[in-house]
Structure 1
């Protein structure tokens, strides 16, 4: 890296942070990309790792490989523990603090349990590769124990899987989990019949997929129920333990598995810094994605959003990537002293989609164009392959999907560690 050039520190290598770093590749700045893990995670496919369809390495790509030939981008594995926005210093969990000329805060989000610590202790999340591997181990361990369990009540509890949250993650995960049960019950686990397994999807509002139209939400519900998923809408989780989930209306569901996908909150390395925030603690940046009162600091992705009327940007990968590229160009313009009037950030909505399982997907495009079924599923497949990083990862994912589609089999069913002990 050259002496005297401005230093850009990017905190987080998710979709937004990676897009920003790539856009700055070859520009007259020195870029330090910080990330807790040494890989970029393609998080939309975490549920496929959790249900035995993909290997963890299929959705993680080494960041040092991404920037192997970059003259000005360097990666450092570290966790940001704090930021001094006035002194322009980033504090790390290892090593000395790091100064910056420009900061891009792209630290992502984590599960939000809305203060319910009881649920947080006993449920399994799906935000990291560790979460997905842990969930896969746990599900397979439950099947192994149920296969040998003589007590009918204990067996029933081991074979009941509760998913909380009816957004895209909850819908996709419950659909994939139901498919896994159809594949292995009776075939690999001879003492377990498909009718014994239960996959229950709980949503607090009156329908699934609230980010989509009501029609697509109804379609998703029909498909899930047709495939054996029990869908409970208008149901709120009151409490939970390792034996059961209790709903607000008093209904108790005996289960050994609770998967949480009912909300996220931003990771917040700036703590008590006096910056404006939304109600969910997300940093409220200005129309140019700058953190108010912090010179040279920007916020993107799940960590921050400008106010758009009475709304904020959705916590999805497309707005994060667009914001990352926008901030990179803003920094380059500033470094080059270009006297251009930069337009405020404008998110271009290219559509949203979700898959419910084999031959069933939902897609919403700008202008109100919607389609479901095989076409929706095929669209989802090609879009996700396109954005998956690395030729080997794309080839491996395609191969796994083709094998599953043709053979109706999930070969990745190795228990790497014991799942949480159902009590």
Structure 2
């Protein structure tokens, strides 16, 4: 049931998203307004052929330019606060001000050309595991007792959408159930470890669907964090670049965390009108003390890899130029240790707090469900999207 609802709430693909507003009456009344008409029509068609869905800030920019090009300056009433999607689109369109329809067409064409030019040709999957075909947001390998989960949405800075939440839980279960797996590793593709929760998870939700989205989001998050709490084997984080949000908070549930010296750690919850998750309200104060934890969880402080090490969030920091070699050498050494001895030792060191962690996880998710429905959260996320789209 949860997986079905998750797929239903998933951010829609670019083709469906474009059709949703291009098939409206405004699209049917497009007039020949200037020299860019032919290229504008070609750009609309080319947008529907993109293999990768643009980020939501780019979607808003595309929408705004399309409306400005076909209808001129924003001339509709601003939607209510609870119409999150409508308000985001209205703000993006209104931000274009008085630019002409021809100018909007030109910018639309340039943006689509840029998106098409950034797409990379498809390459064979790197995954060597027999279950690799199950995953679309992860690159999963299983070799020599090491089960590696690589977050694989590099164009989105490995942001976690609903699909990745689902697949990450599945990957951890497979690693736990496979008797040949000694330990599991989590890392990221590209130069980002993970940019946290994909704020696109909040998009395409009708005003009357906010409560259902928040409640289902709480179920998804609680299940996700529980997978880390209950993971029975050593779990190692290989932090190859910046980490944000939930990708940082769950690190307190890992058994070792290795970071490149270029990594940063950021949990900007109050900036987004939200609250801590991943059991960080419990693990962070225990790791680093209440005052240091508050800097991260309350006051949005971004810390370096060295600062994360000093606060006991990171086990060891390596120079970036030698990061992968050093960490992989260490992991291969660990994978040769007796696996049952590792599991029994982890059980003894973690079992006393397991029930506490589940209680903390449940309570954090309850608070977040309330936060996601609050006007404060909506305003903060709207402000984030407005700033993102204005930079394009």
TM-score by length of 1: 0.29
Higher helix share: 2
Higher strand share: 1
